[in-house]
Amino acid sequence: MEYLETMTTDFFEKGMTVEEYLKELRHYRSLVRKLMDQAGTADSPVQSDIEKLRVAVDGFPQPVRATVNTEDWCGDWICNMPLLDRLFKSVEVPFRIFRGSEHGELKARYARDGDTHIPTVSLWDGEGNEILRWIEAPAKVAEMKDGWKAENPQLMELYAKQSEDKAAAREFAKLYRKFLETMAQWYTEGMWNETVKEILTKAQQAAQERS
């Protein structure tokens, strides 16, 4: 599989808008709808962060665009999508969603660099060059996830068995749903702020390196 070298307009338009994506969402629809509603009323991103991000990307060739490489089952994507939708709309940055299983060129670009975790969010300048890359989850959430898995070792035990054991698959689905609901609570109770902070920091660093 050849990897995507630059983000062309033609390739960008192959991605889905959030609205299009939600119409054909395959997993966890009720949880996603709940999070979309919460993101619409949440304090994050705050106006100061929006302005800082707008300033950071304004210095790049326009239009700056955002993409995500992900899959529907990804918990961090489910939890961050509502926040990312709101953030990029606030700074008037077009945003497109790519399932890696359907758009291998973008997935291969990240794999070339050793980045195989999802979601992988990128900002691109108007010439198709990657400005920044943010992967999977904020550092604080990664620590919380590790702690939860340590307290619930059966999650990974069931995951290892699920392909060959229907009972294990059912139990894994139940426990993974519980994990997702716990993650969603983390994000809505403060971790969305961490997502914004990390993306903003990367954008400001990229702007500084460009100047």
Q: Which of 60, 76, 48 is nearest to 129 (CA)?
A: 60
Q: Is the pLDDT of residue 43 over 80?
A: no
Q: Which of 13, 33, 35 is nearest to 22 (CA)?
A: 33
Q: Is the pLDDT of residue 46 over 90?
A: no
In this prediction, residue 41 has a pLDDT band, given cuts at 50, 70 and 90, of confident
- In CATH terms, 9-137+192-210 corresponds, of 3.40.640.10, 3.40.50.300, 3.40.50.620, 3.40.30.10, to 3.40.30.10
In this prediction, residue 44 has a pLDDT band, given cuts at 50, 70 and 90, of low
Q: Please, what sign has the CA dihedral across residues 95, 99, 104, 107? A: positive
Q: Is the pLDDT of residue 26 over 90?
A: no
Length of the chain: 211
Q: Whole-angstrom Cα distance, residue 40 to residue 76?
A: 18
- Bigger pLDDT: 132 vs 46: 132
Q: Which residues contact 108 (CB under 8 A, 6 or more apart)?
A: 1, 2, 3, 4
Instruction: Say if pTM beats, i.e. exceeds, 0.85.
Output: yes
Q: Whole-angstrom Cα distance, residue 33 to residue 51?
A: 27
- Bigger pLDDT: 71 vs 45: 71
Q: Which amino acid, residue 5?
A: E
In this prediction, residue 1 has a pLDDT band, given cuts at 50, 70 and 90, of low
pLDDT at 211: 80
Token couple for 125: 């300048």
- Domain residue ranges of the chain, discontinuous segments joined by +: 9-137+192-210
Q: Whole-angstrom Cα distance, residue 175 to residue 157?
A: 11
Average pLDDT over residues 74-90: 95
Average pLDDT over residues 54-69: 97
Model pLDDT for residues 145-196, shown as the tens digit of each residue? 999 999 999 999 999 999 999 999 999 999 999 999 999 999 999 999 999 9
